[in-house]
Chains A and B, each alone.
Chain A
Amino acid sequence: MANITLNDAWELARENFGWEVVFYVPGLKGYRTTEYQNSSRPLFVPVSVTGTRCQLNCLHCRKTLLKDMYQVSSPDELYQLGTYLGKLGCHGILLSGGSTSNGEVPLIPFLSAAGSLKRDLEIKIAVHTGLVSKNLAQALAEAEVDTAMVDIIGSDETIREVCNMRASVDDFEGSLGYLYQYGVKTSPHVVIGLHFGKIVGEEKALELISSYPVASLVLVVLNPLPGTPMALVEPPHPLKLQSIFLKARMMFPKTPLVLGCARPGGKHKIITDSIALEAGFNGIAYPAEGIASYARKRGLEVEFQECCCSFVFERAGDV
């Protein structure tokens, strides 16, 4: 795959998915550019089942990301929050939370309430799983969640050094296995540059994922957050990203592929987003200013959607 060009990836995408791109701008964050403004209404919200607690305390996050989320402390509370938000037009919840020390998010007690929200109020449920045990996969299947978003790390070193986990790449593969076994729709995420900005296990992660028929593939980029030990880490250069983007596109020719919301801002984002578009990604979350015009210039039909980008499979999967 050494000589793949952006052009090859673009043509492959047009052939397999047609001339469209979807930009995902859920109200998890305000998105206001000259090209689109999302609603300040809570249409798609992240909910943490552990509040701001996390026993892993990974170096790139240090619980910062949990602070953005709604908090619930019991399944009842989750149901009540969903009902409240449903009245305000909420159509989706991202169920998330901190991890236990073995890398699992303690979701099981909440899944039945999540399933009820889906059934009673037609609220879509996406779930950040962490490592998936057999029991969790079964509970996810029973709740009929819409998609399981599982971060796949392809390097034992990264798992140990960045995520403080006593686990291995095999455990991540095992997670994909259980999700497949129980028929849970899965949208794996790969954080490019997670190893202090270096590219280490990314390709391995893509390989693992490619053995399973996943619903969508989400690539994100390490975003060095202030207040974490990674704050001063240099995120991977967009050209390094380009090579991973191209590999991913070619390895997953028929799987909807999106650039997810976590990535550095500013100039880095403008370049990265252009590359993702040129590499034939099916969607981009919170695209940089100007990317929508660029997409139109390249002949694509542009659509903005206020939901989580993992749901790209709803758009592109059946073409």
Chain B
Amino acid sequence: MHSKESPEYLRISLAAAITLGLRRGRFYRNARLHCLNLLLTYTEGCRGNCAYCGLSRERQGTYEAKSFIRVDWPTYPLEEILWRLDREEHDLKRICVSMISNPRAISDTKLVSERIIEAKLNIPLSLLIAPTILTPLDLADFRKYGVDRVGVAIDAATEDIFGQMRGEGVKGPHRWETYWETVRAALRVFGKKKVGVHLIVGLGEAEKEMVMCIQRVHSMGAKTHLFSFYPETSCSPSHLSPPPLVQYRRIQLAQYLMEKDLLAVDEISFGEEGNILDFGTGRTELDEVIQAGHPFQTSGCPGCNRPYANSRPGLEIRNYPFPLSREDIQRVREQIWPI
């Protein structure tokens, strides 16, 4: 019998293992990890079969050996993680437990949350929840156990893409409507702005479709957490490339402006293929927003910065895990477009 399973064991990202002194390594530009992601782990893995996900059911290999967002996620005992959180020097501002779509994940998420809160680390706790297996009562339980925010990874900007990549198209269990219902239910339980919707740019959607989806999230009172598609090796849509940087920058900018209520969808002009032509806001205002650099930093729960989670460390950082330097801003400015 050889099973390192949750709730006793959890997987953490390589970045987290380095931060907790369990692995050796350094971050590009000395980025510091601000959010510890804990991934539940089961021998039978995730029931989902999402085309772009490293953990999908049909991807070859045991669950434990599967990479996720392109890095290894080694497994450690929960109590060792909590012990190290207490004693190692770190800059962690948040812990996030990621469920996977496995029926055991519901009760284990509650157990793990309870233990984290009990350990009195004084670090707020979020969950990335798995709508397909949850009920609103579970959400209320999560809150009771001390969780203050949740994320829902809808990932795809349109129902079609969602179906193709996560639902019927891949014989997967997930349904578009279930995900949005869960966002609504989570907003009722946790309150406005306490629910984040993960969206991945570059799964085949037009810029306009992504902007419409972000608008939908914003109107509901939730927040968008943006990701740039980054193909997992040996995963089926690896033929898809990451979206062009210019597309990602424009979406980042649109998302930021919409979240700050500086922009509504109908003010944006789109080209024939749905690409953004013009934001319609004053040039100076736009300039100030770009100059501050905030739209290009990682969007997520407060504290979350996911260093290099969806691009290689280097000059083309998609989500900056730290405030942008003057050179970064200059570079980003060149990347957006010649407005």
Contacts and interface: CB of A to CB of B under 8 A. Distances in A.
Interface string A209-231: 00000000000000101110000
Contacts of A67: 4, 74-75
B77 A223 contact: no
Which applies to chain A's interface (DSSP): helix, strand, loop or mixed? Answer: loop
A261 interface: yes
A142 interface: no
Given A29-B8, A40-B7, A84-B86, A265 B79 contact: no
Interface in A17-70: 27, 29-30, 40, 42, 45, 51, 64-65, 67-68, 70
Interface residues of B, number: 20
Interface in A217-272: 223, 225-227, 261-263, 265, 269
Given A30-B5, A225-B2, A261-B1, A40 B83 contact: no
B22 interface: yes
Contacts of A51: 22
A261 B2 CA distance: 9
A187 interface: no
Contact of A42 (B1, B3, B77, B111): B77
B219 interface: no
Given A30-B7, A70-B80, A223 B1 contact: yes
A40 B8 contact: yes
A71 B1 contact: no
Nearest to A31: B1
A27 to B, nearest CB: 6
Interface in A161-219: none
A262 B4 CA distance: 13
B62 interface: yes
Interface string B60-72: 0010010000000
26 contacts: A29-B1, A29-B3, A29-B5, A40-B111, A42-B8, A42-B77, A42-B79, A45-B79, A51-B22, A65-B2, A67-B4, A67-B75, A68-B2, A68-B4, A68-B75, A70-B79, A71-B22, A71-B80, A80-B83, A80-B87, A81-B80, A85-B79, A227-B65, A261-B1, A265-B1, A265-B2
Interface of B: 1-5, 7-9, 22, 62, 65, 74-75, 77, 79-80, 83, 86-87, 111
Given A45-B79, A65-B2, A71-B80, 13 more contacts: A29-B5, A29-B8, A30-B3, A30-B7, A42-B77, A67-B75, A68-B77, A84-B83, A88-B79, A223-B2, A262-B1, A265-B1, A286-B1
**7 smallest beta-carbon distances between A and B, as pairs:** A42-B79, A70-B80, A84-B83, A40-B7, A265-B1, A30-B8, A286-B1
